[in-house]
């Protein structure tokens, strides 16, 4: 039985390269996942702050213009998209 070491070496190299590609793809997924977590964390901070401002406005402590109310609503809508992705 003769073993073709050159062919075996090529196969091992090919498999190693494929595994490196898989590992690279996994690292990219992890990076994007962390970025998504960060975005969600920032979105929660915004929601909490917006909630506080809305509460103050409802109690008459501050007055919001129509434009300010619309901007808060638009941003909250965008955040909703982040949480559903």
Pull the structure tokens for residue 84: 């559903």
pLDDT band (50, 70, 90) for residue 85:
low
Tens-digit pLDDT profile for residues 8-62: 888 898 889 898 998 998 888 888 888 888 878 888 888 899 889 988 988 999 8
Residue written as token pair 């509460």: 55
The per-residue pLDDT for 26 is 86
Please state the domain extents for the chain. Answer: 5-83
Number of Cβ within 10 Å of residue 64's Cβ equals 15
């Amino acid at each position: 039985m003769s073993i073709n070491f050159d062919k075996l070496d090529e196969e091992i190299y090919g498999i190693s390269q494929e595994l490196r590609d898989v590992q690279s793809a996994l690292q990219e997924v992890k990076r994007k996942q962390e970025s998504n977590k960060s975005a969600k964390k920032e979105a929660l901070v915004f929601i909490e702050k917006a909630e506080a401002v809305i509460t103050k406005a409802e109690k008459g402590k501050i007055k919001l213009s129509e434009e300010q109310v619309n901007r808060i609503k638009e941003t909250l809508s965008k955040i909703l998209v982040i949480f559903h992705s």
